[in-house]
Structure 1
């Protein structure tokens, strides 16, 4: 009996998306690098169709840029992009935190958020540096999901990849502090205190702005 491949049972699209995202985040595919469908499909071992779909998904997250002439390439991230990302997060996530505090605390989305918090705590406790950015990004997305506001989720979607990218590039910031702030935020949401949840979300995002920009100023262009 043959041994199943590690990705057996997973869709080729999902596998391609995961692989390309990981290589963008770890710098294997640097900003501006061309992402040629043929080369990627050969490297991954399947057709170009799932690769094309994966690139489309990553473009929707803000990690990849699609051009009619050049095809796909890794986004060129700048300090201005990061500053604008923080501005956007203050608008969307503070509102989301308030609405999440008004949501059903016993519903499936609330249970899912609890699971995401447990996972974020676990990877932080284990010091799993490569897993922390994805876990924290998923947690932030889970708060927005809890609001039940589909338009809000759609508005955040193009920023999720950028959030994870920034979290990855600023991995020198203390993850234990981030985890503690997340616990405070979820406590306010679970208590149903909308004003407190919004205030905690605002403080959490704004506290991360200057350290993140200072760290990224060493490796990113201004514009």
Structure 2
């Protein structure tokens, strides 16, 4: 319902019924999930008027949520354009991959040491379950979610909470959605096959092999990303 001189917009009613901090968290969770699930594409402008109407919130909580997403690196604030879903430059992508290789190789090594504990092993096996499905994957949200879940399972199994935080920050969803449209079936099939090899090495407790396989996996992923046409990256 559109507000008039004699009636307040519905967004105000929602905000009044919810603590401001809770409203910010609500908007933050919605926008973050939207980026991670591909509802908001890299480079897309997040229009305040549309979001306040759709989410039924006022501009204050929305702007605070956008500020936090900017700090997380998922959104960038551009003068005279407002908030845009972040689109990485080719250099940023390369640098993120370089850091990820070291951190995730360490996570795989630690995970291989930790799976000797029954609870850790059970959780790891449960979280990576989708990788054993033989159904061919298509480029899109389902594949990206499976990919994120697999890598998260490794860092969770490592038992190192700081490592988990760092790897999540570096595994920007914007990057995957930036290049997913260019992925070929053979790229995805190769990635899934590599996930299975890494998982087996971890479950076997072979930290050295798990570490080497993760390095190889991410190096190949970097090669695929670098083959993406330049127009897919920010200038």
Q: TM-score range by the shorter chain?
A: 0.7 to 0.9
Matched, 1:215 2:228: yes
Match of 2:13 in 1: none
Select between 112-121 and 78-87 the one with higher mean Cα deviation: 112-121
- Give the conservation status (yes or no) of the 8 Å contact 2:113–2:207: yes
The superposition leaves residues 22-72 of structure 1 with CA deviations (integer Å, 9 ceiling, x where unpaired) of 233xx3xx42x4424442131234555775575466446532125799753
CA RMSD, 1 decimal: 3.1
Matched, 1:144 2:155: yes
Q: State how 1:38-187 maps to structure 2 within 5 Å.
A: 38-46=49-57, 51=62, 55=66, 58-59=69-70, 62-66=73-77, 72-122=83-133, 125=135, 127-130=137-140, 131-160=142-171, 161-166=173-178, 168-172=180-184, 174=186, 175-187=188-200
Distance 2:222 2:208 in 1: 22
Select between 151-160 and 62-71 the one with higher mean Cα deviation: 62-71
What residue ranges of structure 1 are gaps of 5+ in the alignment?
Answer: 1-10
Q: 1:58 to 1:187 in 2, by over 3 A?
A: farther
How far did residue 151 of structure 1 move? Answer: 1.6
What residue ranges of structure 2 are gaps of 5+ in the alignment?
Answer: 1-24
State which structure, 1 or 2, has the greater radius of gyration over its C-alpha atoms: 2
Task: Describe the SS at the equivalent of 2:184.
Answer: coil
Matched length: 206
Distance 2:230 2:185 in 1: 14
Task: Describe the SS at the equivalent of 2:84.
Answer: strand
The superposition leaves residues 126-149 of structure 1 with CA deviations (integer Å, 9 ceiling, x where unpaired) of 534321012102211221121111
Task: Describe the SS at the equivalent of 1:72.
Answer: strand
How far did residue 158 of structure 1 move? Answer: 1.6
How far did residue 191 of structure 1 move? Answer: 0.9
Distance 1:42 1:107 in 2: 49
